[in-house]
Chains A and B, each alone.
Chain A
Amino acid sequence: ELKVEQNPLFLSMQEGKNYTIYCNYSTTSDRLYWYRQDPGKSLESLFVLLSNGAVKQEGRLMASLDTKARLSTLHITAAVHDLSATYFCAVDSNSGGYQKVTFGIGTKLQVIP
């Protein structure tokens, strides 16, 4: 069974600082997704990483994928308050011939002005 672990689970950081969220997974996969969820809202797709070495950037967020290490990172550069949200990674795996997506438990990010 695929396990997806995120750390840290909670992150409080000051505006302007840099930080990285880590996502480890337990079985082979070459598709990884990052989602954002604002409090009381739904999940919104941020990045889709489809191959080893993939790197995607959007504003102050940059995601990368290392399939050999089974690790993805979400790097936050010069954080701003608007980035406060919960971030989820999700990994595809093959289950009985069908793709199945497993979500991590989420990292709650609080950016303090």
Chain B
Amino acid sequence: EVQLVQSGAEVKKPGESLKISCKGSGYTFSTYWISWVRQMPGKGLEWMGIIYPGDSDTKYSPSFEGQVTMSVDKSISTAYLQWSSLKASDTAMYYCARHGRDGITGHVVYMDVWGKGTTVTVSS
């Protein structure tokens, strides 16, 4: 079974650092792009960025560039999302999701597998 297993809920203080994880299984992790998606309380889905585990090629949404860092360790099939200094406004649910590939062109397409999400709460 293809799945993405995310790390558990986090409660942090403003200014603290954090790294959350997303471990893939049931497929060749290094050959499928992974996106991170933010959902603030009561709000919609926001695409944050995408990373290719094969070579760590990363593209950030302009809204999140410089605010977070995406990385992978393909040896353990795990993608990461990290903050160096959290703010209260980072309080949200964070999902990782795998992108499929177009069978003909090989282009990155929609998100076909989602992790269950990691809740991040930042509060003093």
The answer to whether A and B come from one shared complex is: no
- Which positions in B face A, CB cutoff 8 Å? none
Q: List the interface of chain A (C-beta within 8 A of B).
A: none
